[in-house]
């Protein structure tokens, strides 16, 4: 939603109707991921993409029909359909789309904010949010919405009993998950829900302005991360060493991380190799909702670090979140190779890849 929001707000400001098409399921070689969106204005303009160009023209026509009818519609494109060749998915990919008039998200009870307002505010504040959409109840298609922002009040309308179920699933996703369809049981009926996870741009906080930190900052920027470097030692926390970083903070990590504010879209890497710097950062990070916390060092270094963190009051559950030695085991030893291993694990953790599961 973030990438199409400027166009959506401009069209709404001009008094035009808008529909949003969202990928809710994929198979095979679909070029875009679940959750990808395209906005369609009533004048035929569009923003965003759901297939990289394969089905956009067909979706625009369907969306204009949705705007005219005022009701959402689910679409399927794939090689099993005769129209697949016409819309460009002959390569084998299949996608399910939900096309909704945005007016449904704008509706709200008297004195209440709308789900759209809550979602937009979360995006502006760079806070994660989950939009829960009821697709089907029993055999009956039905679209109802609720938006669950991280660390803020939710909004929307769902049937009695489903609100609690959806809220629990949203909490799970906000702690680390990906968009997708889930089926629940409600009063003996099967309810199909689509959970649309909206994450702000990911942030990498690098504790320690060392050589590996420089390589981490460089690679993270290439991958689209916002980069913040923290090192109270001014020789290491010199902005000239990190021209690619968005911020360089020369405060002690405990105070720095509290000011930065760690969210479910934040990764933290402790690479200073100095316990006086790394340990306070890890204590803060492991008690935060950051989706990744990694620390540099050998197995023995990590054993000693774990003991210190236990003595600092961290629980076993909190300690189990620490990824140390940092990164996937790629076998590299050079700073750039270690940074690559760390970034690979960070990307895997953010995307929900099995590669991120440590055994």
Q: How far is CA 312 from CA 20, 279, 308, 309, 319, in A?
A: 49, 9, 6, 5, 11
pLDDT score for 215 = 97
Two tokens, residue 145: 């919405």
pLDDT score for 86 = 52
Two tokens, residue 58: 């067909």
| Dist. CA 235–CA 46, nearest whole Å | 49
Domain ranges in the chain? 1-103, 107-200, 203-356
Position 111 confidence tier, pLDDT thresholds 50, 70, 90 = low
Two tokens, residue 132: 């829960």
Residue 53, C-beta contacts closer than 8 angstroms, at least 6 positions apart: 88
Helix (H) or strand (E) holding 206: strand 203-207
Overall average pLDDT of the 169-187 stretch: 88
Name which of 259, 258, 256 is nearest 231 in CA terms.
256
pLDDT score for 359 = 67
pLDDT higher than threshold 50 for residue 212: yes
Q: Cα-flanking dihedrals φ and ψ of residue 327, to 5°? A: 85, 165
pLDDT score for 110 = 61
Overall average pLDDT of the 151-159 stretch: 88
Count of beta carbons in the 10 Å neighbourhood of residue 92: 12
Q: Convert the pLDDT of each residue in 263-301 to its tens digit.
A: 888 999 999 999 999 999 999 999 998 999 999 999 899
Two tokens, residue 299: 């197995």
Q: 359 versus 70: which is more confidently predicted?
A: 70
Position 109 confidence tier, pLDDT thresholds 50, 70, 90 = low
Q: In what order do the strands lie in the sheet with 129-137?
A: 155-156, 140-149, 129-137, 189-198, 180-186
The whole-chain average pLDDT of the chain stands at 89
Position 199 confidence tier, pLDDT thresholds 50, 70, 90 = confident
pLDDT score for 315 = 95
| Dist. CA 207–CA 192, nearest whole Å | 43
pLDDT higher than threshold 80 for residue 349: yes
Q: Does domain 203-356 have CATH number 3.30.565.10?
A: no
pTM more than 0.95: no
């Amino acid at each position: 939603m973030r990438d199409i929001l400027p166009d959506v707000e401009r069209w709404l400001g001009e008094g035009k109707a808008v529909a949003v098409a969202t990928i809710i399921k994929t198979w095979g070689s679909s070029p875009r991921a679940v959750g990808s969106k395209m906005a369609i204005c009533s004048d035929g303009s569009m923003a965003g993409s759901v297939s990289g160009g394969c089905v956009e023209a067909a979706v625009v026509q369907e969306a204009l029909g949705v705007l005219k009818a005022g009701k959402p519609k689910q679409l399927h494109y794939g090689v099993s359909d005769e129209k697949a060749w016409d819309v460009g998915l002959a390569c084998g990919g299949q996608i399910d789309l939900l096309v909704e008039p945005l007016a449904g998200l704008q509706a709200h009870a008297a004195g209440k904010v709308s789900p759209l307002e809550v979602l937009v505010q979360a995006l502006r504040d760079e806070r994660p949010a989950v939009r829960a959409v009821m697709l089907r109840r029993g055999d009956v298609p039905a679209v109802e919405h609720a938006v669950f922002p991280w660390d803020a009040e939710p909004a929307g309308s769902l049937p009695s009993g489903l609100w609690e179920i959806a809220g629990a699933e949203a909490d799970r996703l906000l702690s680390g998950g990906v968009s997708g369809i889930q089926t629940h049981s409600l009063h003996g009926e099967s309810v199909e829900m689509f959970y649309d996870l909206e994450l702000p741009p990911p942030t990498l906080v690098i504790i320690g302005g060392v050589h590996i930190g420089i390589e981490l900052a460089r690679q993270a920027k290439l991958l689209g991360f916002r980069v913040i470097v923290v090192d109270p030692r001014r020789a290491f926390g010199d902005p000239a060493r990190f021209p690619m970083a968005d911020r360089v903070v020369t405060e002690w990590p405990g105070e720095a991380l509290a000011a930065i504010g760690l969210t479910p879209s934040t990764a933290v890497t402790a690479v200073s190799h100095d316990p006086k710097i790394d340990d306070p950062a890890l204590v803060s990070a492991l008690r935060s909702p950051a989706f990744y916390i990694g620390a540099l060092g050998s197995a023995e270094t990590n054993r000693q670090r774990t003991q210190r963190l236990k003595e600092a009051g961290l629980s076993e559950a909190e300690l189990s979140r620490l990824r140390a030695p940092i990164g996937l085991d790629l076998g590299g030893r050079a700073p750039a190779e270690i940074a690559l291993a760390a970034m690979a694990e960070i990307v895997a953790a953010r995307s929900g890849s099995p590669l991120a599961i440590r055994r």
